[in-house]
Amino acid sequence: MKESTTPQDSRVTRAEREANDNEWYKKKVDGLDGLSFMNGDLYSGNNSNTGISEYRKMRVNYDLFNNRINKADFEHVCSPFGKEVGELPADFTNKDILSGKVKALLGMEMKRPFSWKVVATNEEATTRREQEENKKLKDFVYNTIMTPIQQEIEKKYQEQRKAQPLTPEEQQKVDEQVQQELKAMTPEEVKKYMAREHQDPAEALAHQILEYLIQRQDIKMKFNKGWKHGLIAGREIYWTGVVNGEPTLRVVNPIRFDYDKSADLDYIEEGEWAVYEMYMTPSEVVRHFGTELTPTEIDEIYTEFTHASSIPDSSFTFQEEYSDVTYGIRVIHAEYKALKLIKFLTYLDPETGEPEEEIVDESYQLNKEAGDISIQEEWIIAKFETYKIGKDKYAFMREVPGQHRNLENLYDCKLSYIGAAFDDLNSQVTSLVDRMKYYQYFYNILMYRIELLTASDKGKQLLLNMNLVPRKSGISLEKWMHYFESSKIGWMDPN
Distance CA 435, CA 78 (A): 24
Give 469's contacts (C-beta < 8 A, 6+ positions apart): 475, 477, 480, 492, 493
Three-class DSSP category at 406: strand
Which tops the pLDDT comparison, 407 or 29?
29
- 469 φ, ψ (degrees, to nearest 5): -70, 125
- DSSP, residue by residue, 246-290: EEEEEE--GGGEEEE--TT--BGGGSSEEEEEEEE-HHHHHHHHG
CA distance 58 to 232: 7
pLDDT bin (cut points 50, 70, 90) of residue 395 is very high
Q: Is 117 left (phi over 0), alpha (psi -120 to 50) or beta?
A: beta
The highest-confidence range among 205-209, 254-258, 351-355, by mean pLDDT, is: 254-258
**Contact (Cβ atoms closer than 8 angstroms) between residue 248 and residue 216:** no
> What is the tens place of the pLDDT at every residue in 71-112?
888 888 888 777 777 777 778 889 999 999 999 999 998 888
Residues with Cβ within 8 Å of 399's Cβ and at least 6 positions away in sequence, in order, are: 14, 340, 382, 383, 384
Instruction: Pick the closest to residue 227 from 435, 40, 433, 424 (CA basis).
Output: 433
The neighbouring-strand residues paired with 380 are 340
% of the chain with per-residue pLDDT over 90: 27
Least-confidence region, from 7-21, 285-299, 338-352: 7-21
- How far apart are the C-alpha atoms of 470 and 475, rounded to whole Å? 6
Query: What pLDDT does residue 43 have?
Result: 41
Between CA 238 and CA 243, with CA 240 as vertex, the angle to 5 degrees is 125
Contact indicator for 409, 37 with CB cutoff of 8 Å: no
Q: Are 301 and 331 in contact (CB under 8 A)?
A: no
Rounded Cα–Cα distance for residues 65 and 100 (Å): 9
| Residue 202: band (very low, low, confident or very high) from pLDDT cuts 50, 70, 90 | confident
Instruction: Look up residue 167 and give its DSSP letter.
Output: P
Angle value at C-alpha 479, between 478 and 481, nearest 5 degrees: 65
pLDDT in tens, 210-264: 888 888 989 999 999 999 999 999 999 999 998 888 899 999 999 999 998 888 8
Does the pTM surpass 0.85? The reply is: no
Helix (H) or strand (E) holding 228: helix 219-233
**d(Cα 271, Cα 255) in Å, to the nearest integer?**
18
In order, the DSSP letters of 147-163 are HHHHHHHHHHHHHHTTT
